[in-house]
Structure 1
Amino acid sequence: MRNYLRKNPQIRTIRAAACDLNGQPRGKRVPSRFADKVVEDGTRFPLSVLNLDIWGEDIDDSPLVFETGDRDGVLKPTDRGFVPMPWLEAPTALLPIWMFREDGRPYAGDPRHALRAVLDRFKSHGMTPVVAVELEFFLIDDSGRNLEVPVSPRSGKRRKAAETMSIRALDAFDTFFTDLYDACELMDIPADTAISEAGLGQFEINLMHQDDALRAADDAWMFKMLVKGLARRHGFAASFMAKPYEDYAGNGLHTHFSILDHEGNNIFDDGGPKGTDALRHAVAGCLNAMHDSALIFAPHQNSFDRIVPGAHAPSGICWAYENRTAAIRIPSGSHKARRIEHRVAGGDVNPYLMLAAILGAALNGIEDGIDPPAPITGNAYALDLPRIPTTWAEAIDAFECSEVIPRIFPAEMIRNLVLTKRQEVLYMAELDPVEQVEIYLDTV
C-alpha cells in the first residue's frame, strides 16, 4: 500500500473511510505525507460512527454513545488498498478501512464484517459464491424545486420521456459515460454494459461477476460514490434513491449469484435449464428470509414507494424461470452459467448488508435442504402471493423479531440497525415530501 503513494506522488491527500449502516462513507482526510501511519497502525474513531442516522447524527438511545463513554474502535485498511478518487479536483486516493475492537476482534456493527462472516460460513462448507450486481441510477437536474432530466450536453435539449434501451439517451450523455468508464478503469471497478432504463434519465450499469463477494460489495459501494461525485463535476446530480419520480419506475440493485464447490464447479448446474437441488434449496432459503430481511432491501421511507404492484419491482414473494415479475428469477442461457437473480433490493441499499442478506439466506436453505414452492408462471402481480412488507414500520418490526435473521446477522448488528431506522422514521415524519427527497437524493 505504501508503494502506491510513492508511485503516485501527485496524490496530495487521502480519505480513510469505512461504510456505515446506511452505506455512507465515514472517515478522515489525511495529508499524503502522514498516510504511512494510517497504513501501518490504522486509525481510530468511535464505534458509534458506523451507527449514525441518515443525517450523520448520533442515535439517541444507542448504547454505543453515552452509556459506554462513546469508546473508540480501531480502523484498519482492507486488502483493497488505495483507490483513486477521480471525481475530485485535487489528486486524491481513497483508503477503504473497516472496524475492529481494541482487542482485535472484528466489530460486529461493521457491515463489511457482516458480509465477511457469511462468506466464512460458505468457506466452512468448501463453497464460494460468485456475484454480479446491476445498479440503476437517475441523472437529475436538481437545481430547481422540481426534479427534472438534465439538459443534454450534446443537444442542449431536455427530453422528458422514458427511453428504455435507447442508444440516443446514452449518446445524449456520452461525455459523462466516457468519463465514468475511464474512472471505473482507474479504480479497478469492473463496469460492463450500460443501458438506458424506463425512468426519466435513468440508466443501469452492470458490474462483472467475480468470485470475491467482499470485493463485489466494495465495487458497488465505491461505484455509487463515483457516479454521484462525477455527475456533480458534469453539472447535474446522480442518485440511487429508490423512487425519485412518482410516475416512473424506481431504481433497483439486482444481484446475480451462483456458488462454486471446492473444485470450482457451479453447484447450480445440472446440465439443463432447471438447475440442481442445491439451486432450489438456495431459492427456498431466499424466499424464507425475504419478508424478514425487507429492511435490508428497502432501508428508507422512500424505498417503499418503489415496491408496489406493476412498477417493475417485485412485491410478491415467489420465484420463476425467466420471469422479471418474480422476486427471484432463474435466467435462461448456458447451463454452465446457471444462477439466481435476486430482484428485490432498491438502489438505496447498503451493498454489504444486501449481499450478506441474500447469500446468508441462500446458505440457510442449502444447509437445511428445504424445497421452495412451485415456480410461478405469468404475471406475479396478478397472483395471490405472500407479500414483501408494504410499510417501513412493518419491515423494521419483522427484521427485529425474526427467527431467521439471527442466523445471518449478529445480535449487535440487528440492534444497531433497528435503532438507526427507528430514529430515521421519527425524524422523517417531521419533514415534508420535498425535504425528504432532498435528504435521500444526495445520501443514498
Structure 2
Amino acid sequence: MNDPKSWLRKNPQVRTIRVAASDLNGQPRGKRVPARFADKVVEDGTRFPLSVLNLDIWGEDIDESPLVFETGDRDGVLYPTERGFVPMPWLEAPTALLPIWMYREDGRPFDGDPRHALSAVLKRYRKLGLTPVVAIELEFFLIDDSGKSLQVPLSPRSQKRRKAAEVMSIRALDAFDIFFTDLYDACEDMDIPADTAISEAGLGQFELNLMHQPDALRAADDAWFFKMLVRGLARRHGFAASFMAKPYEDYPGSGMHVHFSVLDEDGNNIFDDGGPKGTDKMRHAVGGLMDAMHDSTLIFAPHGNSYDRLVPENHAPCGISWAYENRTSAIRIPGGSPKGRRIEHRVAGGDVNPYLLLATLLGAALNGIEDGTEPPAPITGNAYAQDLPLIPGSWEKAMDAFEASEVMPRILPEGLIRNLLLTKRQELHFMSELSPQEQVEIYLDTV
C-alpha cells in the first residue's frame, strides 16, 4: 500500500480525488473530493448509506430492501482499503481514486460489501495456512455505438472497419495499437499487472491477461480497476469498450476466466504432485467447485444479457464438468510444468463483479478441500456433445437456484445473498419492460 498522505504530497498535480467502493453489481459508488480535503477522508473515512452498495443496475434503491426505509436508510462508515491512491489516467484532469470499503458504525465489516465477502473467504484460507494464487483473463469488446446498431470502431491507423472475427490476429491488435499502447501505459501507472493481449473470436473483441499473484483481494481490485480503465480510456479514443457478456447475437460473448493454485505455509503448490494429474487436494477443490456451480450461476451470470452467452458450442460452458487441457469444459486443468499446476474456471462472463466471483470460486474450492469432495471422472472430448448436468439456463432459474442453495451460505454472508436476490429480482422486473436495444444500452456502459 502506498501511504495516502505522502502519495498526494508527491503528486501535487492531483487536484481532485474520487473515493469509491464496489456495489453488488461492481459499480463504483462514492464521492468527488477536492484534494486539499483528502486528509480528512484518509484519517476519518467517509460516510454514505449502507443501501448505496445495494442499488440496481440503474442506480436506484431496491424497493423491498431492509437497508432503506425499514431501518431509516442509515449510514455506514467507509475507510480506505490497503491499496491506497490509484491514478485515473482516463480522465482529462489529473485525478486519483481512493478505494474504500464499508463498515457499520460499531466497526464491524458491512456484510453487504462484496470486498468484505472476499476478505472473509481469504481468512478461512489463512486459518489453514493456505494462500490462493490468482490470475484473471478479461475479454472485452471495442465498439462504435454512435449509430443505431453496434459495430466495430474505425481503426485509428487505417480508418477502416474489420467486420469479421480475427482470432489471435496481430493485424487486429495493430489496428488499435494507439489504444493498446495507452492502455498498457495506464496499467503501469495504476500498478495493474497487465500481461498478454490477444484478439478474440468476436467483432472487435480482445482479451488481456492479468498476471498471477498471491493476493486475491489485490487481484480482484486489479480486475475492478481494469474494467473502469478500459471503459474510460476507450471513450477518450472516441469509441466504447464493454465487458457485457453478449453484445452481438452472431458472435461469441466475453468471459472472465480465473486461474488459481493454492500455496501452503512453505510456499509449495498443494495441487502439484510432480506429474500431470495433480494432487488429491486439487481434485477435491474441483469437486467443491462442481458442487457449487449450479447454485452459484447467478454470480457467474448476473445479468439478463449474461444468458445469451451461455449457449452450447459458443465458447461458453453450459454443462458442469471438468477436464484436462479441454476448453469445452467448465473447469479446465491446464498443462505445463507441475509446479504451476492450477485450476481454470471458465463459466463467468466479463460482466461479473470480480470480488463476488473470486469469493465464490475460492470459497467453493475450499469447501471441497475441507470436505474431501470427490468430483466425477474428468471428461474427454467435446463437452457440448455430452449428456452433462447443466447450469440454470435463464436469469430467473439462476435466482431460484441461488435462493434455495445450501452451499452458498457457506461461502457468502446471508445479508449479501438476500440483498443480491432482491436486486436481481427488481432488475428482472424492469428489464422485462425494455426492448432488447434498450437493454443493450443499459449494459453497454455499466457492466
* TM more than 0.5: yes
Tell me which residue corresponds to 1:9.
12
Q: SS at the partner of 1:171?
A: helix
- Equivalent residue letter for 1:221: W
Q: How far did 1:285 drift?
A: 0.2
Tell me which residue corresponds to 1:390.
393
Tell me which residue corresponds to 2:235.
232
Tell me which residue corresponds to 1:327.
330
Residue 101 of structure 2 corresponds to residue 86 of structure 1: no
Q: SS at the partner of 2:13?
A: coil
Q: SS at the partner of 2:212?
A: strand
128, 131, 138: which one aligns with 2:131 = 128
Q: SS at the partner of 1:443?
A: coil
The aligned runs of 1:22-421 (5 Å cut-off) are 22-421=25-424
How far does the alpha carbon of each residue in 1:230-265 deviate from its partner, in whole angstroms, 9 at most, with x for none? 000000000000000000000000000000001110
Inter-partner Cα distance in structure 1 for 2:102 and 2:373: 35
Inter-partner Cα distance in structure 2 for 1:203 and 1:156: 19
- Equivalent residue letter for 1:204: E
Q: SS at the partner of 2:359?
A: helix
Q: SS at the partner of 2:445?
A: helix
Inter-partner Cα distance in structure 2 for 1:353 and 1:52: 16
Inter-partner Cα distance in structure 2 for 1:291 and 1:246: 25
Inter-partner Cα distance in structure 2 for 1:399 and 1:94: 33
Inter-partner Cα distance in structure 1 for 2:414 and 2:258: 25
Inter-partner Cα distance in structure 1 for 2:337 and 2:419: 42
Inter-partner Cα distance in structure 1 for 2:403 and 2:9: 48
- Equivalent residue letter for 1:325: T
Q: SS at the partner of 2:323?
A: strand
Residue 430 of structure 2 corresponds to residue 427 of structure 1: yes
How far does the alpha carbon of each residue in 1:75-94 deviate from its partner, in whole angstroms, 9 at most, with x for none? 00000000000000000000
Inter-partner Cα distance in structure 2 for 1:123 and 1:398: 30
Q: How far did 1:370 drift?
A: 1.2
How far does the alpha carbon of each residue in 1:47-100 deviate from its partner, in whole angstroms, 9 at most, with x for none? 000000000000001000000000000000000000000000000000000000
- Equivalent residue letter for 1:374: A
Inter-partner Cα distance in structure 1 for 2:420 and 2:404: 13
Inter-partner Cα distance in structure 2 for 1:339 and 1:185: 26
- Equivalent residue letter for 1:262: E
Inter-partner Cα distance in structure 2 for 1:370 and 1:15: 44
Q: How far did 1:172 drift?
A: 0.1
Inter-partner Cα distance in structure 1 for 2:148 and 2:399: 31
How far does the alpha carbon of each residue in 1:15-67 deviate from its partner, in whole angstroms, 9 at most, with x for none? 00000000000000000000000000000000000000000000001000000
Inter-partner Cα distance in structure 1 for 2:127 and 2:433: 47
Inter-partner Cα distance in structure 1 for 2:13 and 2:165: 42
Inter-partner Cα distance in structure 2 for 1:66 and 1:145: 40
Inter-partner Cα distance in structure 1 for 2:80 and 2:403: 31
Inter-partner Cα distance in structure 1 for 2:103 and 2:52: 13
Gaps of 5+ in 2: none
Report the TM-score when normalising by structure 2. Answer: 0.99
Inter-partner Cα distance in structure 2 for 1:84 and 1:257: 28
Q: SS at the partner of 2:318?
A: coil
- Equivalent residue letter for 1:429: S
Inter-partner Cα distance in structure 2 for 1:371 and 1:229: 44
Inter-partner Cα distance in structure 2 for 1:144 and 1:217: 34
Q: SS at the partner of 1:217?
A: helix
Identity of aligned residues (%): 81
Inter-partner Cα distance in structure 1 for 2:343 and 2:265: 20
- Equivalent residue letter for 1:64: L
